[in-house]
Amino acid sequence: MSNFTVRKAKKEDMVHIMKKIIELAAFEGYPEGPKITASDLERDGFESDCPYFFCIVVEQDETNKIVGYALGNYAYSSWTGRAMYLEDFYVDPELRGLRLGHKLFKEMCKMARDTGCHRIDWHCLVDNNLATKFYESHGAFDVCKAESRTCYRITNDEILNIANL
């Protein structure tokens, strides 16, 4: 069996991360969803004085192939203070069941602990039962159900319309 290492992503990993982002989008049924490029990831995560995201990867030791990743950013909660938002969490489908997701999730929780974050938030597709089971096995709960909340978003067109009023 292969050995795997979980580590912080490097700038040169972003080409591979972009491929994984596209794989995740296709898995979720949105193959045309991602609008960014590997260059955007390099710029925003590694060429900025204040990086816009963090990324950790699971790498297969023998091949140095990235087989999973978690990408997120730091946030702030008026209730708990420092927080993290997890944008993507993905392990190659053929390697699921090897506890690589657990290793990746554990490393993310260590990052949260080490940076003083008191919570991690994320979204999950309602019909992704495998992910729901995984997250709940790690103590996660559905905020929409538990706190009677819903989730909203505005995109660039609305942002520009409102900003230009």
Q: Which residues are catalytic?
A: 135
Strand partners, 60: 4, 65
Distance CA 78, CA 11 (A): 32
Rounded to 10°, the helix 38-46/14-27 angle is: 120
Which stretches does DSSP call E strand in 42-105?
Answer: 54-60, 65-77, 81-91
User: Angle CA(100)–CA(87)–CA(151) in degrees, nearest 5?
Assistant: 130
